[in-house]
């Protein structure tokens, strides 16, 4: 049964009411259906023990006081017959005992039946004509021509039992009231910290990423939920900071080329309209900055698609050596500025991957190395073979990366000491794109860096 749009308190009350109802129903079922059967079974065992004690008293010549005590203590009727004559009967007339001298035909029937059966013991269940109730009779043979008959009513006559039956309704009411009181305190105890969590979560949804959730609850599940929400708050805070940085950095990278495009376009129109060489230089700057804008937009789109798993891999066999050579050839123009880009590999390697994505990885890593290499302006791409895989390095000779920042450099626009600057080439999104592509290929990747000695970015490819 589902409860829709109900508070925790209402649901606890509801289930406690069901529990109480089931408990009360069980009590009534036990009372109505099983009590009489249980009473009869217990009475049968008791009367059989009385019969055995009666035989013991008879064979050991105990006095009649012993039988009287046995009869009185167990609320039972005892009669001993010897040679068809009653020699003892307990004082049970007032309890409706059945004796042979009652001239009751029904009683003589079971007495004669047992005497003629030649059995040592036998139980009978009869209707007592005096009280019109069910009576249990146990017959036992004491010796030849000597028998004992013990009879007890099968209908409970104990006043305590009658009180329990009559007051079961009050017990039911008490159980109901108790269950609701208990449910109230349980629901209050459980719902209070949940309501507090909800209050704090509402603040978080409105932008409050500072106030922590209380982790001091004595309910382990709520305490664990608080820890999870605090961790979520920390992650959201990081994401919010990254979003703000990304917005600021993208705005910066968009504004700079737009400003330059406008400035050089105005120069070409107003100042250099008659100087063809300068006008051409101005137009080249405009083209370069337009290309930078186009690259930035493409990288943002590529990164968005990758993070949303909208792009798919098209794997094929190709030479990683030829691909690296092709990528480095695109940077030939940097040689005029004193840059040296070198590729080192002992042999050719064929890999199975998405050639366009791997080309993008190598291109972005080389761009990163160019932007951060040292004064010698050296960048090296190197392949090393290991057992079962090759490792591709892209090495620069720059300032290196602090150990505390190594895991952060793959974030969008992350810069050392948060100091955003305009890259010589690229958009600042390259390493984030590299990370997503390598994760999609299930390639191991990382960076080895020493402050003052440069960095080695790498990724592993199975062969």
pLDDT at residue 50 in the model: 92
CA distance 337 to 259: 25
pLDDT at residue 423 in the model: 47
pLDDT at residue 169 in the model: 76
- Burial of residue 199 (number of CB atoms within 10 Å: 0-12, 13-18, 19+): exposed
pLDDT at residue 310 in the model: 55
pLDDT at residue 317 in the model: 95
- Token pair 């120069």: residue: 267
- Burial of residue 175 (number of CB atoms within 10 Å: 0-12, 13-18, 19+): middle
For strand 121-128 and strand 133-143, is the pairing parallel, antiparallel, or unpaired?
antiparallel
CA distance 286 to 203: 48
pLDDT at residue 446 in the model: 93
CA distance 49 to 52: 5
Q: Would the pTM of this model clear 0.95, i.e. be above it?
A: no
Beta carbons within 10 angstroms of residue 43's beta carbon: 19
For strand 315-319 and strand 85-89, is the pairing parallel, antiparallel, or unpaired?
unpaired
- Token pair 């001239």: residue: 103
- Burial of residue 11 (number of CB atoms within 10 Å: 0-12, 13-18, 19+): middle
Which two tokens mark 279? Answer: 């006008």
DSSP-derived secondary structure letter, 98:
-
**Do 353 and 461 touch, CB atoms closer than 8 A?**
yes
pLDDT at residue 130 in the model: 73
Could you report the average pLDDT of every consecutive run of 10 residues in the chain (463 residues)? Answer: 62 79 79 72 89 92 89 88 86 63 56 86 84 85 90 68 68 80 78 78 75 74 80 77 66 64 72 71 74 69 63 88 92 87 94 91 90 92 94 94 83 51 52 87 93 92 90
Domains contained in the chain, CATH given: 8-164 (3.30.450), 221-311 (1.10.287.130), 312-462 (3.30.565.10)
pLDDT at residue 203 in the model: 78
> How many residues in the chain?
463
**Do 399 and 273 touch, CB atoms closer than 8 A?**
no
């Amino acid at each position: 049964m589902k409860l829709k749009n109900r508070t925790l308190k209402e649901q606890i009350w509801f289930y406690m009411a069901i529990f109480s109802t089931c408990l009360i129903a069980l009590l009534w079922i036990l009372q109505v259906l099983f009590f009489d059967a249980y009473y009869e079974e217990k009475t049968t065992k008791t009367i059989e023990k009385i019969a055995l004690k009666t035989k013991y008293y008879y064979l050991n010549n105990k006095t009649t006081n012993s039988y009287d005590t046995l009869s009185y203590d167990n609320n039972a009727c005892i009669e001993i017959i010897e040679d068809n004559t009653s020699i003892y009967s307990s004082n049970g007339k007032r309890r409706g005992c059945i004796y042979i001298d009652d001239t009751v035909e029904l009683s003589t029937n079971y007495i004669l039946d047992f005497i003629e059966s030649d059995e040592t013991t036998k139980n009978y269940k009869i209707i007592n004509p005096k009280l019109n109730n069910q009576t249990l009779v146990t017959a036992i043979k004491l010796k030849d021509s000597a028998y004992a008959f013990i009879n007890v009513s099968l209908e409970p006559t104990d006043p305590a039992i009658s009180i329990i039956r009559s007051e079961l309704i009050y017990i039911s009411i008490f159980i109901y009231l108790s269950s609701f009181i208990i449910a109230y305190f349980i629901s209050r105890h459980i719902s209070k910290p949940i309501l507090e969590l909800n209050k704090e979560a509402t603040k978080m949804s409105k932008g409050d990423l500072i106030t922590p959730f209380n982790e001091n609850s004595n309910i382990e599940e709520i305490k664990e939920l608080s820890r999870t929400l605090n961790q979520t708050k920390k992650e959201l805070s990081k994401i919010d900071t990254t979003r703000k940085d990304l917005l600021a950095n993208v705005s910066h990278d968009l504004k700079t080329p737009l400003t330059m495009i406008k400035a050089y376009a105005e120069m070409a129109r107003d100042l250099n309209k008659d100087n063809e060489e300068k006008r051409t230089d101005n137009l080249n700057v405009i083209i370069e900055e337009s290309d930078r804008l186009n690259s930035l937009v493409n990288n943002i789109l590529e990164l968005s698609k990758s993070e949303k798993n909208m792009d798919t891999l098209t794997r094929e066999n190709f030479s990683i050596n030829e691909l690296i050579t092709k990528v480095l050839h695109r940077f030939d123009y940097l040689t005029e500025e004193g840059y040296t880009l070198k590729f080192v590999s002992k042999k050719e390697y064929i890999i199975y991957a998405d050639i366009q994505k791997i080309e993008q990885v190598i291109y972005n890593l080389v761009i990163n190395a160019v932007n951060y290499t040292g004064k010698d302006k050296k960048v090296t791409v190197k392949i090393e073979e290991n057992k079962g895989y090759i490792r591709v390095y892209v090495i620069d000779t720059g300032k290196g990366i602090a150990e505390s920042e190594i895991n952060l450099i793959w974030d969008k626009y992350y810069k050392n000491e948060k100091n955003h600057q305009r890259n010589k080439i690229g958009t600042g999104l390259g390493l984030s794109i590299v990370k997503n592509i390598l994760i999609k290929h299930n390639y191991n990747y990382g960076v080895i860096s020493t402050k003052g000695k440069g960095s080695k970015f790498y990724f592993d490819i199975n062969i």
